[in-house]
Amino acid sequence: MACVLLTALCVLIAAAPQKRDKQIGRLVLGKVLDPQDNPLPDAVVYLTNTRTRAIKTYIVGPDGSYRFPALSAAIEYEIYAQYKGKKSDTKSVSQFDDRPQVYLDLKIDPR
């Protein structure tokens, strides 16, 4: 009887769904674009932790994309981009925003 229960328990554990696909932390991503939605390669994106004031930077590639993975969802962030001396508006990522992925395009008029 104990052997049957142990076997049944092993089968249940093996059949239980695994949470391996769960993302760790929050992902903030997007593109740095000009007013005509063209990418601005080599722009620098600044992400500031509003609690500690620690800053992370990302230099965008040819398609203008940036990404900041594994961010704490319990912290607020501010994000902006710079390109050739021009700066985008600063945007906020709230701790109350429960999306695991936050997509933000940052616009800069390089003229």
pLDDT attached to residue 2:
54
| Distance, first Cα to last Cα, the chain | 80
In the structure encoding, which two tokens stand for residue 87, read together?
A: 């700066």
Residue 9 lies in a domain: no
What residue ranges of the chain have pLDDT lower than 50?
5, 8-9, 11-12, 16-23
Residue linked to tokens 């991503």: 29
pLDDT attached to residue 30:
98
Q: Which range of residues forms the domain containing residue 81?
A: 25-95+102-107
Residue 44 lies in a domain: yes
Residue 8 lies in a domain: no
Give the closest residue to 83 by CA, choosing from 41, 47, 38.
41
Asked if 34 and 60 touch (Cβ cutoff 8 Å), the reply is: no
Counting the structural domains of the chain, the total is 1
pLDDT attached to residue 53:
97
Residue linked to tokens 């508006």: 89
Residue 11 lies in a domain: no
Q: Give the C-alpha separation, 8 to 71, whole Å.
A: 40
pLDDT single digits (tens) 2-34: 555 455 445 445 554 444 444 479 999 999 999
The CATH number covering residue 87 comes to 2.60.40.10
Residue 15 is which amino acid? A
Residue positions counted in the chain: 111
